[in-house]
Structure 1
Amino acid sequence: MSMIEILAGPVIGAVIGYCTNYIAVKMLFRPLKPVKIGDRTLPFTPGIIPRGQSRIARALGEAVGEHLLTKEDICGMLLAQETKETVVEAVAGRIRDIQDREDTLEEFLGHYVDREDYDSVKEHLEEFVTEKIGKGLEDLDVGTIIAEEGAKEVREKFSGSMVSMFLNDDLIRSIAVPIGNKVGEYIRENGREKIRPLVVGEIAAAENKPVAELMDSVPLKDEKIRELVEDAYVTFVTHHAEEIAGKFHVEQVVEEKVNQMDVLEVEHLLLGVMKKELNAVVNLGALIGFLIGLLNLLF
């Protein structure tokens, strides 16, 4: 048997294996559209990738959204030193700008809030502060305090005098307790009504003060401002990372982007990742064909 006859089988097997796998790989991407003969569509058309583009898009979206860009990844990106410094510097700079403003608080807020919303927020603030002070006075039980302190003052005032012989604790309590109860009742019924004008006046006074003056009343050095802003930013990101990640809708965005891509773009994308592996599959076909050809010589 000549050398050509010996090599013919393995070489033919290698060529067949190479061509078979090459065609199989090409059929992943080709044809791009269905091939029809009359009303019938040829099997395996379009190629596997064009036909399954929507499934690929969904799978990529799920992979990125669930495994590649998690809550921890979002949190890590937002808390990266460079990102954190950028945010802190921007906010701290804005606060420094506010500290130098000469317009009043009302004028300043007017740049960012329309009049209707401003008046609504102001009214709610007045009600909130009034309610808090009124509730605080009720919880403090001012009537009881007045009764106790009043009784104590009476005892001290008349201690050692002839009147003290007639002022025993029961008598003092019988006078002080009703007075204290009346005071407590008055606060519960009329406290908020009396407090509100004071609250409204204080808020109005604050509105008419320059922003710079209000900021000066709470003196903060630049370093302290940056520290407070950074703490607030870190706390916000840490507690809301999952919510922030959800706002990105990563899975949906990736799926939509892949679906919007042209089939050739998808092919280029996949080949960029898998080209070496696909070439290995083709070459493996040639190797297997060659080995099968050799086995035929032995048997």
Structure 2
Amino acid sequence: MQEKDLLYVVERWKSSLENLILILVMVGVGSFIGGLTNSIAIKMLFRPYEAKYIGKWKIPFTPGVIPKRRDQLAKQLGQLVVNHLLTVDSIQKKLADRHLHCNVEEKIEQEFDHFLLKSTSIQQLSDKFGINLQSNQLKEKIAEKIVEQIRVYLQEHHEKPIKLWLEQAVTDEDIDKASAFIRNKGIDLLNNEETRQKMEDVIQQYAQSKGFLGNMVLSMFSREELALKVQRLVIEYLRSEKGYQWISRAVNQEWSNLLEQDLKIAESIFEKAKTQDLLKKVIQEQLAVEDWLEKPIQTILTPFTDQVKIKIIPLLTDQLFEKLSNNVPEMLNQLEVEKMVENQVSSFPTSRIEEIILSISRKEFKLITYLGALLGGLIGLIQALLFIMI
């Protein structure tokens, strides 16, 4: 009886071992097939890169899914970028980010400080940017602009009296200075030898025009004596207080008359080509353009450093971002981002696309392979159990 029991136990153990081996084999085969199938399926997404033929017969499933659908993939990626990634709203939202504004302002300030450490003339700066600045041309342009502005101003205000501009600009002290200047110039003119000679000629002509009486006066006094006498009398009168008051009254009267005139009297003079040419010439002679061009621009900007950093740079930055934000739709339309992405992806080698996708999803693909092996093993286990039960 004990021998039969021993044999029964051996047979049961042998049967269990066979069943265990069967289960392990079927689980192993199922896992291998499941993992291999998923791995091949993943490979078939990319491989082969090109269609394979046996003679004229095309082998099915060649090329791989992604190489076969690359053009469609490129188009879909372009639409994805434009419709969901690089959208107008997303770009405008980024441009409205104050942190970005502050970063840009800080970068501009750094570049501005670096620029101030240099010594760059306006001429050098213009040459760097390919701008041809010639001093003569600048003088001409500036003079033309000034003259044009004066002409326009005179046309717009020609019916207004001159006193609106000059009455407050010229004081009594200025009138006194003008009167003194005229008196001094008059005295200098009378003291001139040429003036005395002219007076002698006038006296000679006047005396001769009076006939006998004139000749009698010239016989008593020479024309030189009469001219010298008249010259001294006029000079003494001009130097006297009465003479000065006379000149001052005359200047004040003429100034008052001028103030009551309309600006059109100046317009009529200004409209003459000779007047404008003369004014342009005077302006060009007074413009020190050569010195401006050779002067370092840093010396001009340094006194305004704080204002530039506090007011100008933030204002320019805000205007720059506002301009960019307003033009985002047009910029994207001009760039044709969708077409650009599509062309770029289409030009990629399939191996490059595979490398990109695998670099992103390599871990997930491995998990898919392992999942296939797991599912294959489970299926093998179920099959083994069913086989044993049946």
TM-score by length of 1: 0.62
Deviation at 1:182, TM superposition (A): 4.8
CA distance in 2, matches of 1:75, 1:223: 25
Alpha-carbon deviation of 1:19?
A: 2.3
Q: CA deviation at 1:30?
A: 0.6
- Which residue of structure 2 aligns with residue 280 of structure 1? 367
Secondary structure at 2:318 match in 1: helix
Task: Quote the sequence identity (%).
Answer: 24
Task: Give the Cα separation in 1 of the matches to 2:371 and 2:342.
Answer: 33
Cα distance in 1 between the residues matched to 2:135 and 2:79: 44
Q: Does 1:220 align with 2:307?
A: no
Q: Secondary structure at the match of 2:364?
A: helix
Q: C-alpha displacement at 1:26, in angstroms? A: 0.6
User: Residue type of the partner of 2:40?
Assistant: I
Deviations 1:29-80 (Å, cap 9, x if unpaired)?
Answer: 1112211122333232111222333444444455456615834446769946
Deviations 1:91-148 (A, max 9, x none): 44335535x64xxx56764564455999888776665555445444444x34134598
Question: Is this contact kept in 2: 1:144–1:184, CA < 8 A?
Answer: no
Structure 1 unaligned spans of 5+: 151-177
Give the count of matched residue pairs. 268
Q: Point out the structure with max Rg over C-alpha.
A: 2
Alpha-carbon contact 1:131-1:192 (below 8 Å) kept: no
Q: Comparing 47-56 with 67-76, which one deviates more in the overlay?
A: 67-76
The SS at the match of 1:144 is coil
Q: Show the counterpart of 2:20.
A: 3
TM-score (norm 2): 0.50
Q: Does 1:38 align with 2:55?
A: yes
In structure 2, distance between residues paired with 1:124 and 1:149: 27
Counterpart-to-counterpart distance in 1, 2:374 and 2:297: 82
Match of 1:207 in 2: 289
| 2:313 matched residue in structure 1 | 230
Among 56, 60, 70, the alignment partner of 1:53 is 70
Instruction: Answer whether contact 1:14 1:285 (CA < 8 A) is retained.
Output: yes
C-alpha distance in 2, partners of 1:42/1:258?
26
User: Structure 2: how far apart are the matches of 1:241 and 1:5?
Assistant: 72
Q: Contact 1:126–1:196 at 8 Å: present in 2 too?
A: no
Name the amino acid aligned to 1:47. Answer: G
Give the letter for the 1:223 counterpart: D
CA change 1:25–1:248 in 2 (3 A) is: same
Contact 1:130 1:192 in 2 (8 A): no
Query: Unmatched 5+ residue regions in structure 2?
Result: 1-14, 167-259
Quick one: which amino acid aligns to residue 47 of structure 2? R
- Does the aligned pair in 2 maintain the 1:106–1:207 contact within 8 Å? no
Separation in structure 2 between the aligned mates of residue 49 and residue 142 of structure 1, nearest angstrom: 80
Counterpart CA distance in 2 for 1:143 and 1:281 is: 92
Tell me the alpha carbon deviations over residues 192-243 of structure 1, each in whole angstroms, 9 at most, x when there is no partner.
Answer: 9966864675467142223538876776243333345522541343123355
Corresponding letter in the other structure for 2:70: Q
- Closer, same or farther in 2 for the Cα pair 1:282/1:214, shift >3 Å? closer
Provide the rounded CA distance (Å) in 1 between the counterparts of 2:282 and 2:149. 16
AA in 1 matched with 2:358? L
Q: Superposition pairs for residues 83-102 of structure 1, below 5 Å? A: 83-94=104-115, 97=118, 101=121
The 1:112/1:199 distance shift into structure 2, 3 A limit, reads farther
2:33 maps to amino acid: I
Alignment of 1:107-126 (within 5 A): 109=126, 112-113=129-130, 115=132
